[in-house]
Amino acid sequence: MKIAVIYNRVSLKVINLLGVPNREKYGHKAITRIVNCLKQGGHQVISLEGDKDLIDNLEDFMPQVLKGERPGMVFNLAYGIQGQARYTHVPGMLEMVGIPYVGSGPLAHSLALDKVVAKMLFKQNGLPTPDFAVLDSPNSDLPDLQFPLIVKPKNEAVSYGIKIVNNEEELRAAAKIIFDKFDQSVLVEQYIEGREINVGVIGNSPGEAFAPAELIFGAGGPAIYTYEDKTRKSGREVGISCPAKLSDQLTEHAKDIAIKAFNALGCLDCARIDMRLDAEDNLYILEINSLPSLGEHGSYVAAAETMGMDFTALVNRLVDVAATRYFGTPSPPELSQKKISPPHKVFSFLTQKRDQLEYRLRKWSQFSCRTMDMVDRQLVVKEIDRRLQEIRMKPVPSLTNDKVAWTWESQKGLKNGTLLVLQLDVPFDRTMQHQGFRKDPEWFYGEGLGAVWAPLTVLEFTLRALRSCRKLKNIPLGVICYADEGLDCRDSSTLLQEAIAQAGEVIVLRPGNPEGNAVLERRGQTKYLLKAEGRPMRLGKPSPSSPETLRWVMQKVEQLTDLTVKKDRVAVAATEIQTDSFPMLLPHRVQVTLMTSYPTQKAGNELDEKIKQTLGKANIKWNLEMFSNRPPMRTKKRKNALVDGLKEVATTWDIPFGVESSMWPSVAGLASQGKSVICGMGPVVRDLYTAREAVERISIIQRTLLLSEYLLQKGDLKK
């Protein structure tokens, strides 16, 4: 499990320094000790300051999880940075964003920190606690309590400001220090002469009490545990005797009081209940520490050791206790490989390899793969080939052209199987500045990340997941990568059509849409080059028999764009215009790039005829050349086994998935009518082919799981 140890030590990353500062801190040595113990428990661990950057840091370390995937957990050591009820700050943030954590929630912490409210709850639940009163100001009337008394701040921990007073003068002086230093009310409590007993509690519903521990105070100070004692600055030793020398009956009574106090305040997972034992063996609750110290000299750790848990066992037991509370079981059941179904093996593989998947995406993005960058593309293809052959995918020479298309197949071969199609080029000019990889908690940014690198990562880990459960060899499967998307697949289309013809179904790993939808229908697209040439002429010297070339072209472009009919989903537009002219003369040669879009091939053919008719006959020479033809993609929406299978997997794992139409063409249009084909099965992308191109982080693992589980089903069906 991923575990983040959260503490407050040195960071003051807040918007403003405002309010009462925190004086409690864990030492670096103690934090490192806890981190190492968790690592020994098999967890992946980081340590983070509990400051304003916490949520971003946690989301980076433990991102949104899949359905059924256990989220990461926080091991909370954070005392807070400043302000009231500081123990509640980090748990409150974690509650808000939905991250499980070890320890009590905000309510229990706030009740435990407010010693007056805690004592009132103890009394309401019939639990023994010393009589008390509260001084709200330095001039408050003195309580009707007998000296000696003990004074302490109402809302502090770690024995800050605690002092025994024996008369009114000492009481006023001690109270004034608390008012001045802590700016809060003063709790005045009847001092219980006797022994100090601490009882640790671990677990929930109702929890388990440790053996009572007794604090043994050395000479040279009061018989109370002061702040100076806890920070080892008092000059005396405070020992711990555990188990405390109590009768069996008194031991059980102390445990019973501890459990009831723990539950009265709603504590979770762990706490330490501090008590005093008088000469008549009466126990009194002083307070609950809802965030008990895990320092090596603390009574909580000593009591755990008495119960048979060394420090490593204690730390990992706390994680198990919290996991039980959140997930119902402290850890996944130990099952033999034979008892785990292949779908769950795939799920387990992908969730355990999630960090590696994201690392691989970052490594892929360091390559350049622009359309005309032949040298760098060969490096990419060489690395892909190495990785696919490592997974036991074999090259298919007959469907490979070392310049624009490369094909691999499984041991079962491609025939009548599933063909995965992947783009290997970014349609950018080589002179454009490269956009490097960067990320925020929810999105990864970088050139080609959505078009190439994220789909490539999905492909690699899909195949690795299938191989991990020994199913890849049973699946008829092929992979074809092409590298001329930026040139409208002019050179790769023949090989793509041959590969598609051999396959039973086609999945194109083009980027997914923001709603998580794939594409079942795409419009066709044709590009033309219209060249027109007339006589050179001077400005202001028009010829009735020979119109101005540029003017004629502009008039025709206007007529051509009028062929756009929204309801018929056909469109014509000019995308580029170039002119040639002699000095001091009007342009005599004009070249225009035209683009058309249409829903069916029949509509495309009809549009082609209308364009030629519109150009018609003129006193200007013109030529219309089609230099790119991207066929429309159409696949059946009803009784589509490919779509139905993907939807079934998506529903099982609660992965966003739907289908829609798109106006942009893709290689999916090369599939013949009646062939099962789906496009847009790559991760969700926004701002494609811009400097802001980004991939949704959660969608990478979602699409990998979706594709893996679907292909796993195909393998089972082929048996």
**What pTM value is reported for the model?**
0.80
Q: Provide mean pLDDT across the span 445-468.
A: 95
Has residue 177 been placed in a domain?
Answer: no
CATH value at residue 597: 3.30.70.360
**Domain final residue pick, 631, 648, 664:** 631
pLDDT at 398: 96
User: Within a domain: residue 170?
Assistant: no
Q: Are residues 561 and 663 in the same domain?
A: no
Q: Which of 2-11, 160-169, 269-278 is least confident?
A: 160-169
> Cβ–Cβ contacts within 10 Å for residue 575, how many?
9
CATH of the domain at 664: 3.40.630.10
Amino acid making up residue 251: T
Q: Which of 444-448, 652-656, 671-675 has the lowest mean pLDDT?
A: 671-675
In the predicted model, is pLDDT for residue 338 greater than 50? Answer: no
pLDDT greater at residue 398 or residue 546: 398
- Looking at the predicted structure, is the pLDDT value of residue 212 above 70? yes
End-to-end CA distance of the chain, in Å?
36
Q: Please give the average per-residue pLDDT across 65-79, as a whole number.
A: 90
Share of the chain above pLDDT 70, in %: 94
Looking at the fold, whether 300 and 314 belong to one and the same domain comes out as yes
| Domain identity same for 254 and 265 | yes
Together in a domain, 561 and 619: yes
| Range 259-273 average pLDDT | 96
pLDDT digits (tens, 9 = 90+) for 103-131: 999 999 999 999 999 999 999 999 999 99
Residues 554 and 583 in one domain: yes
* Predicted pLDDT of residue 17: 82
Predicted pLDDT of residue 621: 92
**Predicted local distance difference test score (pLDDT) of residue 332:** 41
Q: Based on the structure, what is the number of domains in the chain?
A: 4
Among 237, 136, 142, 147, smallest CA distance to 190 is for 147
In a domain, 149, yes or no: no
- The pLDDT tens digits of the residues spanning 585-612 come to 999 999 999 999 999 999 999 999 999 9
Question: Tokens 């593309």 sit at which residue?
Answer: 377
Residue 488: per-residue pLDDT: 93
Q: What is the CATH number of the domain that holds 279?
A: 3.30.470.20
Cα angle 465, 467, 468; round to 5: 65
Domain boundary among 61, 80, 101: 101
Does residue 204 have a pLDDT over 50? yes
Whether residue 10 is found in the same domain as residue 61 = yes
Same domain, 206 and 261: yes
At residue 337, the pLDDT reads 38
Kindly report, residue by residue over 553-593, the tens digit of the pLDDT. 999 999 999 999 999 999 999 999 999 999 989 999 999 99
Pick the closest to residue 535 from 580, 594, 592 (CA basis): 580
- CB count within 10 Å of CB 621 equals 11
pLDDT of residue 313 exceeding 60, the answer is yes
Residues 265 and 319 occupy one common structural domain: yes
Confidence of residue 433 (pLDDT cuts 50, 70, 90): confident
Q: Which of 296, 327, 358 is the last residue of a domain?
A: 327
* Beta pairing partners, 508: 421
Quote the CA–CA distance of 610 and 298 in Å, as a whole number. 88
Quick one: 603 and 672 in the same domain?
no
Rounded mean pLDDT, 292-304: 91
Residue 434 lies in a domain: yes
Residue 583: its pLDDT value, please? Answer: 92
pLDDT at 331: 45
Asked whether residue 150 is domain-assigned, the answer is no
**CATH code of the domain covering residue 81:** 3.40.50.20
Q: Tell me: do 612 and 702 sit in the same domain.
A: no
Residue 231: per-residue pLDDT: 58
Residue 429 in domain: yes
CA distance linking residue 646 with residue 628, whole number of Å: 32
pLDDT digits 0-9 by tens, 214-254: 999 876 667 776 655 555 655 677 889 999 999 999 999 99
User: Which pLDDT band, with edges at 50, 70 and 90, does 37 fall under?
Assistant: very high
Same domain, 73 and 116: no
Q: Which of 38-42, 477-481, 663-667, 671-675 has the highest mean pLDDT?
A: 477-481
Whether residue 199 is predicted with pLDDT greater than 60 in this model: the reply is yes
Structure tokens at 463: 């195949």
**DSSP letter, residue 718:** T
Query: Cα–chain-centroid distance for residue 386?
Result: 29
* Confidence band of 183 (pLDDT split at 50, 70, 90): confident
For residue 151, being part of any structural domain is answered with no
Q: pLDDT value at position 157?
A: 60
> Does some domain include residue 689?
yes
How would residue 340 be classed by pLDDT, with cut points 50, 70 and 90? low
- Residue 679 structural domain: 347-370+397-522+634-717
CA angle 432, 402, 453 (to 5 degrees): 45
Q: Are residues 467 and 426 in the same domain?
A: yes
Tokens of 568: 């018929």
Q: Note the pLDDT of residue 336.
A: 37
Average pLDDT, the chain: 90
Cα angle 703, 705, 711; round to 5: 100
